[in-house]
Homo-oligomer: A and B are copies of this chain.
Amino acid sequence: MLNNSHYIDKLRSSGLRPTKQRIKICEILFNTEKTFHFTINDLVKKISKATNDKISLATVYNTVHAFKKKGYLKEIPINSDQSYFDTNTSHHHHFYDENQKDLIDIDDADVEPVKINTRIPGKKIKSVEVLVKVEDTE
């Protein structure tokens, strides 16, 4: 609501026009001290709670993809019927709670550097991510 100029600058500097839909989505995604994980469906719900103006589903998809492309969001590889996104773009890892179907960050400092002693010729490493699946003890 208030200090949108930050988002306007951010969008403009990355070649995205600061439309009111994109600014609203920035507010929802980045106007918080805590980062979080979400699906498109989660985001749509957050938007409808936060505003009276509707944002079309197509725009939500377009915007999330544009932000991902610019590095403002990461997509988390979870096998699921829908994509998970992450507002935490720093290098980190995840617990996936199979009971709650919930992603939880693992700080990079809490994982010893992953050493891979093999390479693929002609390919360079883009990312190394650890997924720790957990379930209830019982």
Contacts and interface: CB of A to CB of B under 8 A. Distances in A.
Interface of A: 75-79, 83-84, 93, 95, 97-98, 104, 106-107, 110-112, 114-118, 120, 122-137
Contact of A137 (B116, B117, B124, B135): B124
This protein's copies in its complex: 2
A15 to B, nearest CB: 23
Given A79-B75, A79-B78, A128 B125 contact: no
A97 B120 contact: yes
Given A131-B77, A133-B126, A111 B115 contact: yes
A123 B106 contact: no
Given A83-B79, A130-B128, A131-B77, A136 B115 contact: no
A114 B93 CA distance: 12
Nearest to A96: B77
A84 B79 CA distance: 9
A4 to B, nearest CB: 31
Given A77-B78, A77-B131, A79-B78, A137 B115 contact: no
Contacts of A111: 114-117
Contacts of A107: 118
